[in-house]
Amino acid sequence: MAESSPSNPVRIALVEDQPALLKQLERALSRFEELEIVATAQDGERAVELLPEARPDVVLLDLELPDFNGIEVTRRLLRRIPETAVLILTSFDDEQKVYEAIQAGAAGYLVKRVGPEKIRDSIHEVLAGGTVLEPLIARRFWNHFQSMRPVPSATDAGSHAPEVTAPVEDPWGLTPTELEILRFLAKGLTNAEVGDVLTLEVRAVRRHLAKLYRKMGVDSHVAAVVAGLRAGLIEL
């Protein structure tokens, strides 16, 4: 997508079941000239009906809705408007819901206590191909993956043998720079922040990411981080 500006605004849709919170969010984000709110809905059914017609660039989607939840709304919306980025906005930070939302295709996840500036920055980050996970949520997400790993038995480990950690095999053949970028993404850094750490221009970071995505067979930061976590290549 082209750079946003008042003459070329980012199209935003809001889905929130509490009218007061919906109005508050609408009012807060309307302060930013580069954002245009093109649709609002207070339940999942209305969102799935209305938003494909509105074709927003980003949907801010409440997780807990009165009919079907935000995870199911995400699945249904992305089947109809796959080019739209879904940013989950909720009062919950449960790692299982984070996992399910990401599996459904969400590009990020924020809790409702964050301020409008953070939401705006997150909108721009997901539009740039990034992912948004609060550090606390990212840590819980990692713990969730750790809890699903099998625990080696005493027989497997050997009763007295010293523990030897075998090197993890990279199934995609990532370069050292690509692997380093992936590790920084897993820690929640944006493309610009990764560039600062590695002394690379943002354009160079994006070029590396494009190659990384092709190798891993993914199309987002979130999917790359999830795949890297599963393979044991990265930790949070």
Average pLDDT, the chain: 82
Distance, in Å, from the CA atom of 218 to the CA atom of 210, rounded to the nearest integer, reads 10
pLDDT on residue 3: 54
| 4, 124 contact by CB (below 8 A) | yes
Comparing CA positions, the residue from 124, 116, 85, 132 lying closest to residue 4 is 124
At residue 155, what is the residue type? T
pTM as predicted: 0.67
Comparing CA positions, the residue from 41, 91, 45, 40 lying closest to residue 67 is 45
Per this entry, what is the length of the chain? Answer: 236
pLDDT on residue 114: 86
Comparing CA positions, the residue from 119, 80, 89, 85 lying closest to residue 105 is 85
Distance, in Å, from the CA atom of 193 to the CA atom of 187, rounded to the nearest integer, reads 11
Lowest mean pLDDT of 54-58, 111-115, 172-176, 220-224, name the range: 220-224
Cβ neighbours, 10 Å, residue 175: 13
- The predicted-structure confidence for 120-168, as pLDDT tens digits, reads as follows 999 998 887 777 776 666 666 666 666 655 455 555 545 455 554 556 7
pLDDT on residue 18: 92
Domains of the chain and CATH, by start: 10-138 (3.40.50.2300), 168-231 (1.10.10.10)
Position 226 confidence tier, pLDDT thresholds 50, 70, 90: confident
